[in-house]
């Protein structure tokens, strides 16, 4: 795996290094030793999958509040999504900055999302499936988010969102 730093401190795009032969390919989707070598301690306590029927579905921008802040590793295993994170650490030099990357079954990239970052994505194709590894169990009382169209963040979504849950429409601005 190659860990590619992005402009938001502590966050990475993870690129697999597949081995190919006449049967197809093989690559590691996760290796705890490789994360430790990057000084990224991560322990999966829960894995989640999100299936999305229609292009233009937006899910986000979600995070869990302390003491249940979580790290996520996000990968698209079917279709394609535009995956976005926002730095919510007030002490950070990149506070309220965002970064987006296309994740797809074809490019096989993953996104390492540190604690105290909001996360969300917009589907770029019908029938997209996103797989998450998370470092903390889901705690409804810690569930939080910010608007996907937060003016102070100004995310440049590649297409207009067309399907958004009521919950995601009601997050309070930062």
Q: Where in the sequence numbering do the catalytic residues fall?
A: 62, 132
CA distance 147 to 27: 35
User: Terminal CA-to-CA distance of the chain, rounded, Å?
Assistant: 35
CA distance 82 to 26: 24
CA distance 169 to 68: 23
Please provide residue 147's backbone torsions phi and psi, each rounded to the nearest 5 degrees: -60, 140
DSSP 48: E
Query: How far is CA 5 from each of CA 8, 33, 57, 58, 120, rounded to the nearest angstrom?
Result: 8, 18, 27, 25, 19
């Amino acid at each position: 795996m190659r860990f590619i730093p992005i402009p938001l401190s502590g966050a990475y795009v993870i690129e697999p290094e597949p081995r190919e032969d006449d049967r197809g390919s093989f690559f590691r989707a996760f290796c705890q030793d490789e994360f430790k070598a990057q000084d990224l301690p991560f322990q999966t306590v829960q894995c989640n999958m999100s299936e999305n029927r229609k292009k233009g579905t937006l899910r986000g921008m979600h995070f869990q509040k302390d003491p249940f802040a979580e790290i996520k590793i996000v990968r698209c295993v079917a279709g394609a999504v535009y995956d976005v994170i926002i730095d919510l650490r007030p002490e950070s030099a990149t506070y309220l900055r965002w970064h987006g990357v296309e994740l797809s079954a074809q490019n096989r990239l993953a996104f390492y999302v540190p604690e105290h970052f909001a996360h969300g994505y917009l589907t770029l194709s019908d029938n997209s499936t996103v797989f998450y590894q998370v470092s903390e169990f889901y705690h409804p009382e810690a569930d939080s988010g910010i608007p996907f169209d937060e003016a102070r963040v100004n995310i440049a979504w590649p297409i207009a969102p067309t399907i958004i849950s009521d919950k995601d429409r009601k997050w309070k601005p930062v």
